[in-house]
Structure 1
Amino acid sequence: MSELDYADIEAAATRVAGRVRRTPVIAAGPGVYYSLEFMQHTGSFKARGAQNFIRAHRERGTLPDAGITIASGGNAGLANAWAAQAEGVCATVFLPATAPSVKVERLRSYGADVRLVGTQYADALAACEEFTAHTGALASHAYDDPYVAAGAGTLLLELREAIPGLDTLVVAVGGGGLFSGISTAARHFGIRTVAVEPETCRALNAALEAGQLVDVAVDSVAVDSLGARRASEMALRSAGHDDVSSLLVSDAEIVQAREGLWADHRLAVEHAAATALAGLNHYNASAEETVCVVLCGANTDPATL
């Protein structure tokens, strides 16, 4: 499946209802709102997709006794471990032995079986793939999965209720899971989507420029969350519509936006969330336009603020 439709978002909303938080929305200025999705379970929007992924496979009878597995020490790994624990499912998470101990301990606190392999993500991914082949565990993906993207898209349905007359949503893009789900749901209601990426982590922007998926180099302050070398096919298809615009921001702008959120609102977010806010400065909203910026995650070190 390379393209979502609105029915997928509706189905996801039914599955995750009561299992994820309806996160707050605050007014940040005339016609501008912030979605505080970083207050979601595990500190990021990823909890929505992880819940939908597990529950959808359970509905289909494709959730094996061996449970789920993923190679990720970041937000996706945390979300999958949390969702698996909530649903009584085994989760095996692979990550490099060089991963920070705080991440390892947090994963274990969610009941995950943590396997430390090699020194790079590629080592962990290879071990995860071997584990999947030998055990029959269901492999999850951080963003390139229709259930994961549809789960992320459920946020838009809540934002429509919280912000009457919402015209435009501004969202950071890494591999494109959040963007794919959000833009699919937004399009159904005639809401525009602005996809924001760091200048040096521009997988979706580069794909749009090339007219096809391409590999890009990644090097940014937001690389831990937005450092996908290639966007998903779903994201590229969704970005090809007229109601989507693609923007790039510098690392300096991302850092400034993150520090501004802390200074002005005492909101501690990760650089990925600040990327979306930095994009707002490049988007020329009309005087009558109502815009919401998605602050997508808070798994960051407050000492760096």
Structure 2
Amino acid sequence: MTHLPTAADVETAAARLAPHVRRTPILRADVDGRPLVLKLEHLQRSGSFKLRGALNALLAGELPDRVVTASGGNHGLGVATAAGVLGVPAVVYVPNGVPESKARRIDATGAKLVRHGDTYAEAAAAARAEAGRYVHAYDDPGVVAGQGTVTAEIVDECPDVDAVVLAAGGGGLAAGAALAAGDRTVVTVEPTGCRAVHAALEAGTPVDVEIDSVAASALGATRIGDVPFAVLRAAGAVPLLVTDAEIVSAQERLWEEFRLRVEPAAAAPFAAWLAGRVPGELPCLVVCGANS
């Protein structure tokens, strides 16, 4: 297996990324008489946390002549944005069903957009045949360490937070959180129809899952990455599931309460919290993206 990233790698990533990414705001609030903290990562450049991991992976070594990736949308936009920042040509493979808003934004960066297959896995298989530096959406130590900078900012600004709650697809964001969270509980939240992380932690090994959810474009990994799985299992992450109806309701509530308009995946942690499933007295929910 590729070497596993560490907390020190997250610290290195934070310093490396500081000139290029936004330190996104944190909002303390009370909803239904209960306190919570929201990390507004949907305000990140490119509209999601994905820029952090993509930039860190590219900056960790010698810049390639060309970067290639596959994505359900957000990671592709993050890689395309990172490549633009660094002056590197990019090719992004996406499934045929990618939301048009995400495809349009990837295309607008100047990256070459290629539609292929019906799932992320099919797009990824085709992308790997392209020449260039392939940046995996989540199964890459540099990507995981870069995503960990989200939680590093939370811990720095809100040390009293006792749980970090994140939407989980392939596990990169959650694994990064596990590296940076210290002794805080890391909670992964997935739709019942996209449960790659939950199924792997339950089975004790990565397994293939079927995908069917309103949040599938962001959380539609059919299998957790080996690197995220090893990190999350060692950290004792708590996996939770929410229904699509709960996600949509949470999206609406985020708008009503805070005027936050986010994509379905970003509402998943709030859905779990509203349902009373999230442990901790003061959890921080990561609002991960706004690319509907």
Q: By the TM > 0.5 criterion, same fold?
A: yes
Matched position secondary structure for 2:87: coil
Q: Equivalent of 1:159, from 151, 154, 159?
A: 154
Identity of aligned residues (%): 45
TM-aligned CA deviation for residue 139 of structure 1: 0.7
Task: Report the Cα distance in structure 2 between the residues aligned to 1:253 and 1:124, rounded to whole angstroms.
Answer: 29
Partner of 1:138: 133
Change (3 A) 1:64 1:167: same
Q: Equivalent of 2:238, from 245, 252, 260?
A: 245
Matched position secondary structure for 1:219: coil
Partner of 2:288: 296
TM-aligned CA deviation for residue 117 of structure 1: 4.7
Partner of 1:176: 171
Partner of 2:210: 217
Equivalent residues of 1:27, 1:34 under 8 A apart: yes
Change (3 A) 1:213 1:100: closer
- Structure 2 residue 188 is the aligned partner of structure 1 residue 195: yes
Gaps of 5+ in 2: none
Deviation digits for residues 21-67 of structure 1 (CA, Å, limit 9, x no counterpart): 00011112153111100000111000100110111122xxxx332x1
Deviation digits for residues 258-303 of structure 1 (CA, Å, limit 9, x no counterpart): 11101121101111111111122333545xx221100101001xxx
How is 1:20-39 mapped onto 2 (pairs within 5 angstroms)?
Answer: 20-29=21-30, 30-39=34-43
Task: Report the Cα distance in structure 1 between the residues aligned to 2:166 and 2:284, rounded to whole angstroms.
Answer: 9
Deviation digits for residues 119-147 of structure 1 (CA, Å, limit 9, x no counterpart): 66566434422222xxxx10111111111
Matched position secondary structure for 2:130: helix
RMSD between superposed Cα atoms in Å? 2.0
Task: Report the Cα distance in structure 2 between the residues aligned to 1:292 and 1:125, rounded to whole angstroms.
Answer: 32
TM-aligned CA deviation for residue 78 of structure 1: 0.5
TM-score by length of 2: 0.91
Partner of 2:276: 282
Partner of 1:70: 69
How is 1:256-271 mapped onto 2 (pairs within 5 angstroms)?
Answer: 256-271=249-264
Matched position secondary structure for 1:114: strand
User: How many residue pairs end up in the alignment?
Assistant: 287
Deviation digits for residues 139-186 of structure 1 (CA, Å, limit 9, x no counterpart): 111111111111000111111222131211111111001011011111
Task: Report the Cα distance in structure 1 between the residues aligned to 2:12 and 2:205, rounded to whole angstroms.
Answer: 29
Partner of 2:84: 85
Change (3 A) 1:127 1:178: same
Matched position secondary structure for 2:257: helix
Deviation digits for residues 84-135 of structure 1 (CA, Å, limit 9, x no counterpart): 0001111112235665554443223212123345666566434422222xxx
Task: Report the Cα distance in structure 1 between the residues aligned to 2:48 and 2:61, rounded to whole angstroms.
Answer: 22
TM-aligned CA deviation for residue 208 of structure 1: 1.5
Partner of 2:55: 51
Matched position secondary structure for 1:57: coil
Matched position secondary structure for 2:210: coil
Partner of 1:303: none
Equivalent residues of 1:16, 1:52 under 8 A apart: yes
Moved segments of 4+, more than 6 Å? none
Please identify, of 42-51 and 200-209, the stretch whose mean Cα deviation from structure 2 is larger: 200-209
Partner of 1:42: 46
Change (3 A) 1:26 1:175: same
Task: Report the Cα distance in structure 2 between the residues aligned to 1:101 and 1:200, rounded to whole angstroms.
Answer: 22
Equivalent residues of 1:73, 1:104 under 8 A apart: no
Could you say which structure has the larger radius of gyration?
Answer: 1
